[in-house]
Amino acid sequence: MFRSQNFLAQEQHLHKTHPPDSEEYFAALAELTARHLRSFPETMTSDIMDYAVANSDDTDSAVRVIADMIDLLWMQYDDHNDPLTHSQWEYIRDVTNEYALDLDMPLVQYIMERVVDHGAI
């Protein structure tokens, strides 16, 4: 099971207790994202969430981007369907460079191989 599937299922439960697109919903989404990326620097986690929300057309798209990045960071990225855009890969390149010293080298290599494959370097 991909980690994103668990994240997406839990995100659906947020709608039961938080009005969509409300401040409370986004606070709960930030907490959920942090739980799924608890092994990563807290500032990296919040940067990813902020990026996804600010650069998506709607909340559903932002949630999908977060889910895809969760899979990427846990080395479970769906290379076959390849849901991320070129500009998202450029962001991934930048955030990976920024936090590279805090990440395991096999993960940095995994991510950067995909960044190169997508021409974002």
What confidence score (pLDDT) does residue 86 get?
Answer: 95
What confidence score (pLDDT) does residue 75 get?
Answer: 97
Rounded mean pLDDT of 77-81? 89
User: How many Å apart are CA 84 and CA 92, to the nearest integer?
Assistant: 10
Rounded mean pLDDT of 23-35? 97
Rounded mean pLDDT of 59-75? 97
Q: Fill in the amino acid letter for 38.
A: R
Domain that holds residue 23: 3-117
pLDDT digits (tens, 9 = 90+) for 7-20: 999 999 998 999 98
For residue 118, report the phi and psi dihedrals to the nearest 5 degrees.
-100, 10
User: How many Å apart are CA 40 and CA 21, to the nearest integer?
Assistant: 26
The answer, yes or no, to whether residue 83 has pLDDT greater than 90, is no
Domain count, the chain: 1
Q: Residue 81 half-sphere exposure, CB side, CA atoms within 13 Å?
A: 7
What confidence score (pLDDT) does residue 87 get?
Answer: 96
pTM of the full structure: 0.94
The answer, yes or no, to whether residue 51 has pLDDT greater than 90, is yes
